[in-house]
Amino acid sequence: RLGPFYMARIGVNFADSKLWFMADAELALGPLTLSLMELSFGSPIDRFAPAFNLRGFGLRYASGPVEVGGLFLRIDNDAGVDPGLEVSDRFGGTAVIKAGNLTIAALGEYATVNGEPSFYIFAYLGYPLGGPAFFFVEGLAAGFGYNRSVRIPDVSRIAEHPMIIVATEGIDNPLELAGLLISGNHIPIDLGKIFLAVGIRFTTFKLIDSFILVIATFGDSFRLDIMGRSKLVLPTADPNAAKAITPLAEITLLLRGTFAPAEGFLGIQAQLSEDSYILSRDCTLQGGFAFFTWFDPSPQAGDFVLTLGGYHPRYRKPAHYPNVPRLGFNWQVAPKFTIKGRMYMALTPTAVMAGGRLEAVWKDGSLKAWFIIGADFLISWKPYFYDIQLYVSMGVSFTIWFFGRHTISIELGADLHIWGPEFSGVARIDLSIVSFTVSFGPTPYGLPQPISWTEFNDSFLPATGLLTLSIADGLLSTAEEETSGAEVWVINPKTFRMDTDSVLPIEQGSYRSINPSGSSVSPLFRSRNTHFGISPMGLSADKVRTEASLAIFNNTNDDQRPYFRIKPIFKSIPRALWGTVLSAGLNKEKELVYNVLTGFTVVSRPPAEAPDEMAWAYKEGLAFNAEVEEGPDFEWQEHAGATADVDTAALLAELGLTDIGFQDGGANKVAFFDLAAAPIEL
């Protein structure tokens, strides 16, 4: 900084035999500040031909409670753009107005893409609007984008998104915000997409400051995204205090959510930011939460995961599961003394797991002392099985250098491995110079005992509704049968569609046609994947047979199959229930069994000969012009009246019509009465 002149960034670039000097600079003259972004000066190295360039400029006026500013910049046409798009005239900018408690901040961009406009605008209105103490509204946000979409970053980087920055931090540093816009990565050009964004900023008891932004994207598919930031400061800063006091806790939680029906995905994530702490800034916090579930048409349909802090150390996480950091803290109590704590919990279709670890280390030069305690729990579904490991270790080590490096250690440790039922386990004691193992309980470590069909049925299968029927399309109404009182579906045969769904996986399905002359059975489909069993019962695939029969009753002797089209329904089912081996749940196999037959879709087939239908007639073809036309070949004569020797009803019947309508518009003339069988005189 040199007086009113401030150099934020300096750079040198050599390309195409030209040497460029670049800088981001600010010039402050009283309440007025001029910002220059990527001001550059360059010349070819073989001759002096100076050239100047400027990426963007900004102007800000601040005096007392009033502040007005704006930034206008030129954006590279190919920044963040997919190949094949022709982009031109690309500009962006920011604007801010502050007056007392009122803040208006906005950012936007415009470009021409393949001859079409592409733009977005996002604005935030900061003003206390009121509300209850637990939800006091401090501001509102809204955005719109045409031929644009919003790219949602990883949950750990939500706070770096321009929309979040504008609403939570304002545009205090326009050059930094401009750098985010220039990258083109946050709100990219996306032809055919439109997005709408609404947000709200609120406080809770003046302790928690939160901002939630909901983004709906339309185009070839619908998508709903959520970004948010919530910050707790305890106690809150006192603006009248003579000296600032470090808060006891400062915790920032970042939020990310997605609902994509076309992809069959629903997920929500939350994660602590890296600057979160408690008690002391040296006691940093970390951790995350996630809930993901998948449904049709996702290939992982039927799978889900709920986790706080990650997974069991020996659990092999599927690739589509989220990465979640351990929930914990890291406290540098003193320069030589550190305490760390970690914990986790997770729920999957196969098991629930939880655990934690506490570690304290003191190190002074060559001398080190430590204390570690931890536990890992794993509990699988029926058959009920648990696997628990507890461990503790404490010790001292000293490192010396005498003809090389040598470390002398004394350690006391114990490991306890418990499983059941029945309650059993192994304890191992390590005294550094000697160790021994103690076993207890009646059951050696191994797989859990399989359960019976009765227990499996009572525990995992519904009491009713093993097979369900539902009308997916064509249901007009319902009626009650006169004698039995049963519900009768009134359907439209043209759009009729019925889905069947079985709780049990189906190995093979068959079709039964039943009529007064008897019935016939013919196979329909086999499951694409028949490698399923009943895992809690310890039954492999060769010991499980499941069949489903679809029967259609008819009061005539006609075969109903020509009137219906039957399609199979394949889904993914949890391996914890329908796997082929009895497992303790550490994911030695995939979580799901894929492509299993679970039902059928029955749709009406159009008849071979389409029924008579009333065809569409365009009004332009039936229009006529009532204006008098003069010409050399005819002359209009006045007459007293007109008579028609025709039976109109008979004429309409012969034409297959019930009425005739006329509508103006169009130059075509149709002489309707020329179609009459009997002569008409005018």
Q: What is the pLDDT of residues 629-643, one digit of tens each?
A: 555 555 555 555 555
pLDDT band at 655 (very low <50, low <70, confident <90, very high): low
Q: What average pLDDT does range 404-425 have in this prediction? A: 85
- AA letter at 326: R
The Cα–Cα gap between 379 and 386 comes to 4
pLDDT winner (highest mean) among 3-7, 484-488, 521-525, 597-601? 597-601
**Better-scored residue on pLDDT, 385 or 312:** 312
pLDDT band at 490 (very low <50, low <70, confident <90, very high): confident
The Cα–Cα gap between 584 and 379 comes to 8
Q: What average pLDDT does range 215-239 have in this prediction? A: 90
Predicted pLDDT at 82: 79
Predicted pLDDT at 203: 93
Q: Check if the beta carbon of residue 187 is closer than 8 Å to that of residue 293.
A: no
Q: Which of 301-305, 306-310, 365-369 has the lowest mean pLDDT?
A: 301-305
Three-class secondary structure of residue 625 per DSSP: coil
State pLDDT tens for residues 254-268. 999 999 999 999 999
Q: Report which of 248, 324, 244, 233 is spatially closest to residue 286, judged by C-alpha positions.
A: 324
pTM: 0.69
Q: Is 514 exposed, middle or buried (0-12, 13-18, 19+ CB in 10 A)?
A: middle
Predicted pLDDT at 206: 87
State pLDDT tens for residues 201-222. 999 988 899 999 999 999 889 9
Instruction: Report strand pairing: 547-553 vs 508-515.
Output: parallel
Helix %, strand %, coil % of the chain (to 5): 10, 55, 35
State pLDDT tens for residues 532-575. 888 888 888 888 888 888 887 776 666 555 677 888 888 888 87
Predicted pLDDT at 276: 94
State pLDDT tens for residues 575-588. 778 888 776 556 55
Whether omega before 421 lies within 30 degrees of 0, making that bond cis, reads yes
Q: Is 383 exposed, middle or buried (0-12, 13-18, 19+ CB in 10 A)?
A: buried
Helices and strands (H, E) in the chain, number of each type:
6, 38
Mean pLDDT rounded to a whole number for the chain: 81
pLDDT band at 171 (very low <50, low <70, confident <90, very high): confident
State pLDDT tens for residues 656-681. 665 555 444 444 434 444 444 444 34
Q: Report which of 389, 322, 319, 312 is spatially closest to residue 350, judged by C-alpha positions.
A: 312
